Amino acid sequence: MHALRTRVQRRPVHGVLLLDKPLGLSSNQALQRAKWLLRAEKAGHTGTLDPLATGVLPLCFGAATKFSQLHLDADKTYVTTVRLGVKTSTADAEGDVLQTRPVNCTPGLVVEILDRFMGLIRQVPPMHSALKKGGKALYEYARDGETVARAPRGVMIHELELLDLQLQGDAPFLRLRIRCSKGTYIRTLGEDIAEALGCGGHLIALRRVATGTFREDHCVTLESLESLDEAVRPARLKPVDTLLTGHATVTLDGENAGRFLSGLRRRGNWPDAEQLAVYGGQPHALLGTAHVKAGELIPGRLLSPVEIQQILEGQS
């Protein structure tokens, strides 16, 4: 006989969960587990972390999923360890060893090489990545033993700090802190730095410590969320407008708020602006995003009246 399965009753949940993603789970596996713990109806994330990476993974629930795309452009900060002298097929510890070489570099050369990787650099995306070519993810080609041509892409390395190094012994390594633009492949960066040092290398640890304004000390673990009573778990979510930090704000009165929510442009004495968070006055509630051009407030992504009501009920 098959065991009876308990049907989970889903509920409207709105907000952002700053998750400290554990080692070994894909971003989607972590999302689905958090979604189940919150009994949430709708969820998404703001960009992925590899299963071998840990750290800051913002998860969006309910109305917050409408603004998740905005956070994809945020700068990211990582701490990583590059094992020198061993090159692998995936540029990380999961891959097969392709080559081993002696490590003969000096601390002075390490500093000199790191300086070369500051600022705007060009990267060839790794074959073991989710980037698509011809409608197929690169990692699917790699699994089939194929290598396809990839065009180099420009990325920005804002900070590249040497935290620790060991150039002697059985397991030489560099430990680095990197703040970079979206689209930067840290595995590729680590591999390219090791190649420039003349010894090759691969990543053995990777942790995202910040994404935009979200830092690791803001995060919760799946274990800590699970330990809470189910009724209080949604209290660990940040408000939806946490994703709109940096947006200028506009507050509309009742009549204008209602028209704005129906998608109508509003006229006012507003300066031109590309990114605005728009609120209703009474009660104070996020309505959505907009931009202003020539005195017109032009709606962007809007919350539904049902979502706004659910958020207000949750706050009370």
Q: Using CA of residue 72, residue 75, residue 77, residue 83, what is the dihedral sign?
A: positive
Give me the phi and psi of 128, to 5 degrees please: -90, 75
Closest of 41, 66, 46 to residue 57, by C-alpha = 46
Cβ–Cβ under 8 Å, residues 13 and 225: no
User: Would you state the structure tokens that stand for residue 96, as one six-digit string?
Assistant: 């097969």
Residue 181 backbone dihedrals phi, psi, to 5 degrees:
-80, 170
Q: Which of 50, 92, 192, 241 is catalytic?
A: 50
How many Cα atoms sit within 13 Å of 55 on the Cβ side?
A: 21
CA 3, chain centre distance (Å):
38
Annotation marks residue 50 as catalytic = yes
Angle of CA points 189, 192, 197, to nearest 5°: 125
Structure tokens belonging to residue 80 = 């990583």
Q: How far is CA 214 from CA 57, 207, 211, 238, 243, in A?
A: 9, 14, 5, 11, 10
Cα dihedral 272, 278, 280, 284 sign: negative
Please give the positions annotated as active site: 50
